[in-house]
Structure formats: structure tokens, C-alpha cells
A and B are shown apart, each in its own frame.
Chain A
């Protein structure tokens, strides 16, 4: 799209003209600006979507809000920039945004050669396939010869080609950048299959099926063909800011593990449990180590909620998506969400 090239060009201009060193300055710049610039995807229900009032909501958005709560003590001090999957990395490389929560998969090359850092995993995802029930397909292995709708420039596109090659099947891709357009092409029947991360498929199925067809006319195939750990992305170079982003997410997980919720956090301040006292800053030290206010976890949990609350509210049982927690349960409940100790 013209926009993509324009954005890429703008980022290149930013590379060419910016003369000051960025290392170590990101956090200062954010504090001076008084707001966190957060790049989000164009719109995936449950993860990042502007509601009818234009307020961004979702699990990914909550991580940005948690970082803002940690730095400013106010989860609302975030400016959102919707980015396509192709714009997001250049936007963070060039400093247009401080952090990208665009459901980007953490991979080795992205973490290294692109000059970026992934600071953790806020959602353990995997790629799957969405098909109309009328197609009568029960397994991804029956998809040989299918036409597949996929977004360009994603790990999804690569996994798709790998999966079909590995299973000696052929396919025809239909590749459109705008997620709305690719969904429209799928629902119009231009493709047999739509593939992306299972979470987004669930969102598409819950929120985007055009009437008269409904949620029940589509199925997500059981195969998960890839590991897609989705993480927050920051620029390489300012480890202090990267640490804050990393631990803001861990704080949400740690709060859930200790049963601290947005409802009981005020009572928890009076808790005698030494771990909770450290987490909430009643026993000081953690905030100082990160260079932010000691009450940072209190602010995150009070304003955003713990990880479980955010999950249930946005994508889980209290949302239209009704995604099972699955791998995203706490480690103590058989999942992968695990925070290093707060001490």
C-alpha cells in the first residue's frame, strides 16, 4: 500500500537525519513527553481494537497501559498508533513509537538482526486454520490444493509455506496487507482457508462474520502448526526501558499468582505476607531498582488488573471470544505463564 511505502520512507528519512544517539535516552524521552507511544495492530478484537468511543481496548493494549502505569502512575498516558504488520518494526526502529504491541512473534532474527528486543511473552499463540463448515474439512492435512488467505510479511506466511512443503501439499496464497480486506476476501469465498494465529482466528470468528452467516458456520481446525510467542517489542539500546516493559508484564503475572486483583489490591496493601509487601512496594526496593515509583505494581494492578483479569475480560470467558486459557494459564496451573521472583 502507498501508506506502507510512505511509512517505510519516513522511517528511512528518520534513520538518515537523526543524529543524536538513542541508547539510554528512550526512557528520558518518554518521561519528557509525558506519554508512552504505543504501536498496536490495525484491529483484532480482544487484543487491540478501538471501541465506539475510540478508546483502545484489549489484552495487548493492557500491556501498554501497564507500562504507562509503571512509569507515570497513570495507565491512560498512552498514545496509540495503529500499524500494519509491515510498518510495525520500522516504526519502532526509527523511534516513531516506543513499544510495539502488534501481536508480533518473538523470533531469533527479529530479536537480533532487526535491532529490536522482545521483552517477554504476553500470549502463547500458535498458527491455525479457519474454514467454512460447508467445506467439510476436519484436518489441516486435507487442505492440499486449497486457496489460502494470509497476511504478507508475517511469520504466518512463512509457516504456511513450510507446513505445506513438509506435508507435500500445494496451495495458492492470496496475500493482502489490510486485515479487513483479507477477511473480506475470505468471507466472500475468494479463499477456502484463512490462516493466522489461533487467537486472531477466534477473534475473527467471534466478531467479523458477515450476516446472515454466524459464528457457527465456521470452524478452527485442530492443528496448531507453529509456536507463536507474542511479545512486546522495544528498540535495542535502552535496557532500563526494556527492563520496565519486561517487569510490568511480569508484575501482572506475579499479581495473579499471589491473588492480587484490581478489587482487593487496597486491602492487600495491609497484607503481612512478605512477598506481597515486596510486590506492592510496601517494603521498598523493587521500584528503586527499576528507577520508577515504588507503588508501580499497585498502580498496574489497580488500573489495569492482573494478567488473569485482563485475559478473562478481553479474550477469555468474560469476552465474546471465549478463548480457553490453555498454554496461558499460570505455571502453577499447568500453563506457561511464569514470572521470575520479585526480590
Chain B
């Protein structure tokens, strides 16, 4: 037989350049070697050029005094802080706007996506127009528009619009509102909140298991919400209910006291959320449309209400289609937040840019900024991949 003949034939000696295995190895070694050489050449060249031009290098500058002020900080910062601290402040600001942006864009986008599928003609047209308007104009232009609207349309601080019986002030310096004065009780309220969240989660698990076993439902959502709200309030009451507030009041040029949401932050957050939610809406819509119509009918036949069928039957299945493209949108929000610099929100890029100009350490700073965005993006990806695996179809 031919097959046998092939199999049993003595191995003929092949010249090494004709042997696919050997050839494969040689090619791979050559390619890796070339890439390594190129990398070495580039690094060596950079170092030599920097030395020749007498440009100092290294990360020592991070410990030096930054000397510049930052307008919007979440942690203690002054011009006497170090460059490292300034970059950290910028990083926190980037995270703040990204996290809030992701949450709000998801919420708004989901509503818009469902709204566009509505049987109500007006609602679905409004959602459609929204989506088309926002995703077809560059984000930078939206940012400029929102920033201009806020700074041009609102009055100066001395003519500020007051709302809620003179406790909240709107002006082109931002929204000033009262906040409670710091008190030790608030720390314990935070602890109580964490405990309540853990408790609500455990309660939800228990209710699910009981319903699976006995069929008896338990209003775990209402109970959990009550726990999350009630426990911190209880701690607040037990702690003597401290209620001293810091009220915003006009003093000199600006408002003093209270807390403020600055126009730059507002404009950036609005821009990111409104722009990205248009994309999210389309992703949600595609996820729901991917489901067979029979799913809705089957859920209705089981006697589930519209809300229940959306929550228990349609969305869990739609999520499998929605989650992977949603990851890209979350990454986009994070990266697009760097457009902040166009309207003066002090994000990571802003801190780094100033640091580059004051220290001249462009290469080191660009490395830092790349590492920062890379680690944030990879964390988002890792989380979303984990979530995607969790909700993926399990084949039994």
C-alpha cells in the first residue's frame, strides 16, 4: 500500500536548508535577533544623542519642588509639593473623570438604547437624533462648545444665580454647594456603608438560593437598599448627628466655603458622557436586537411582567453581545479624557506637560504617561474580561 510504503520508507537525509523544522528555527532566531538589534540601536542612539546635547536624564527630578499650582485637586497639594505629587494629583483627576464618565455613560447609553427600540414614535426618534448628533461630531468640538456655554452663559460670581434658598450658587466659576464640616463620625459612616454593601450582597445571594430551592421570592433589592441607606444613617444618629455645614459665601473675588464643581470638570464630564453614551446606546440596541423574538414571547408566556422579562430574560442574554464592545468604549472614555487639556482641566496629561516644560525631561515623562494610561487601560480590560467570562454562555 502506498501509505505503508510512505510510512516505512527509511528517512532520507535532507539538507538542513531544505528541512522545514530547521528553516523555521533559523528564521525565528534571525527575526528575534533583528528586532533586538533594532531596539538596542534605538536605545543606544537616544542615550548617546542626549549625552552629546548635554541633556540630563533620569528620574531624580520627581523629588524636586514642582512650584506650580493646580486648580482642582482631590488630595492635599501646594506649589511646595514635588513633581511626583503633581503627577499623582493629575492621575487622580483623570481617574475621577473617567470613572464617573464610565458609570454615567453606561446608564444614559442603556436608557437611550432601550428608548430607541421603544414603540413610542416620538421617544424612539428623539433617541435616534441624539445618537446621530453626538457620534457624528468630534468630541473636541463638543468640549469647546460646553466650556464656552458655561463660561459665557453663566454670570460672574458677584451676580451668581442662587438656588435652593441661597444655599447653592451657579456662576462661571462653577457650582458652589454646602458640605458638612469634617467630623470623626463620617469615617465610621464610611465603614458602615462598606459593611452594609457586603451585607446586602450576602442577603441577595441567600435570597437567590432560597428562591432556587423553595420557589419563595424575597424582596432582596428593597431590603438591600434599606440596609445600605439605613446603616450609615443609624451610625450618624448614634454619633450624635453632627450637622455643622460649611456654607458657600461670597468673599472677595470668589465664593469661599462649601465645595465646588468647576466648569472645566463639568464641561469635560458632560462632553465625555454625552458623546460616549451615543455609542453605548447603539451597542445596547444591537445587543437586544440580537436576541430572538421568541425570548420575549416565552417570557410573556411564563407570566413575567415587562420589567421582569427585560431584567431576568433579555438583558442577561443581551449582555453577552454587549460587554466586549463596551470594553472598548470604556477604554475610549479613559483615553479621551486627555482632551481635558484643551479646556484646562488639570488631568494627568496637563501635569505631565507642565513637568516636561519645567524640567525638560521629555522622554522620562512620556514613559510615565504611557505607563499610567497602559495600566489603567489594562485594568479596565482585565475587569471586563473577567466579567465577560462570568456571564458567558456555559456549555454543559
Contacts and interface: CB of A to CB of B under 8 A. Distances in A.
**Do A and B come from the same complex?**
yes
A161 interface: yes
Interface residues of A, number: 62
A17 B42 CA distance: 7
A16 B46 contact: yes
A115 B264 contact: no
A60 interface: no
A188 B150 CA distance: 10
Contacts of B152: 188
Interface in B49-76: 49-50, 52-56, 67-71
Nearest to B55: A115
Given A2-B339, A12-B362, A190-B263, A160 B69 contact: yes
B253 A190 contact: no
23 contacts: A1-B341, A4-B341, A5-B353, A8-B356, A11-B362, A12-B366, A15-B46, A15-B363, A112-B54, A113-B359, A114-B360, A146-B252, A147-B173, A152-B353, A162-B67, A162-B79, A165-B80, A174-B264, A175-B346, A177-B353, A184-B148, A192-B253, A236-B54
A173 B70 contact: yes
Given A153-B357, A177-B353, A18 B344 contact: no
B151 interface: yes
Interface stretch (A32-40, A84-92, A275-283, A318-326): A84-92
B69 A161 contact: yes
Contacts of B52: 21-23, 237
Contacts of A114: 55, 360
Contacts of B173: 147, 190
B324 interface: no
A292 interface: no
A173 B264 CA distance: 12
A12 B68 CA distance: 25
B254 interface: yes
Nearest to A157: B68
Given A17-B45, A153-B358, A9 B366 contact: yes
Contacts of B339: 2
Contacts of A165: 79-80
A113 B360 CA distance: 8
Contacts of B56: 113
A22 B343 CA distance: 38
A53 interface: no
B46 A1 contact: no
A184 B152 CA distance: 9
Given A1-B341, A174-B344, A237-B53, A158 B253 contact: no
Tell me which of B45, B343, B358 has the highest count of chain A C-beta atoms within 10 A of its own C-beta. Answer: B358
**B54, B354, B362: residue with the most chain A Cβ atoms closer than 10 Å:** B362
Interface string B2-30: 00000000000000000000000000000
A11 B71 CA distance: 29
Contacts of B363: 12, 15
A86 B362 CA distance: 11
Contact of A93 (B53, B253, B264, B354): B53
B71 A175 contact: yes
B155 to A, nearest CB: 8
B344 A22 contact: no
Which 4 pairs from chain A and chain B are nearest by CB?
Answer: A153-B357, A161-B79, A176-B344, A115-B53
A2 B342 CA distance: 9
Interface string A93-130: 10000000000000001101111000000000000000
Interface string A158-196: 101110110000011111111001101100111010000
A154 B357 contact: yes
B170 interface: no
Contacts of A65: none
Contacts of B354: 86, 152-153, 157, 175
B68 A86 contact: no
Given A190-B151, A236-B53, A144 B357 contact: no
A297 B360 CA distance: 35
A19 interface: yes
A246 interface: no
B254 A152 contact: no
Contacts of B344: 174-176, 181-182, 185
Contacts of A157: 68-69, 354
A335 interface: no
Contacts of A145: 251-254, 256
Given A23-B52, A90-B356, 17 more contacts: A5-B353, A8-B362, A22-B52, A114-B55, A115-B53, A145-B253, A146-B252, A146-B253, A147-B253, A152-B354, A157-B68, A162-B67, A165-B79, A172-B71, A176-B344, A190-B173, A236-B53
B151 A178 contact: no
A205 interface: no
Contacts of B80: 165
A89 B357 contact: yes
Contacts of B360: 89, 109-110, 113-115
A235 interface: yes
Contacts of B359: 113
Contact of B53 (A4, A9, A22, A171): A22
Interface string A49-89: 00000000000000000000000000000000000011001
A162 B65 CA distance: 12
A212 B65 CA distance: 43
B178 interface: no
B49 A15 contact: yes
Given A2-B339, A12-B362, A23-B52, A153 B151 contact: no
B303 to A, nearest CB: 55
A235 B53 contact: yes
B283 interface: no
A186 to B, nearest CB: 10
Contacts of B49: 15-16, 18
Given A153-B357, A188-B172, A146 B55 contact: no
Contacts of A164: 69
A65 to B, nearest CB: 27
Q: Which of B56, B71, B263 has the most CB of A within 10 A?
A: B71
A178 B357 contact: no
Contacts of A154: 357
Contacts of A85: 357
B350 interface: yes
Contact of B357 (A19, A152, A172, A185): A152
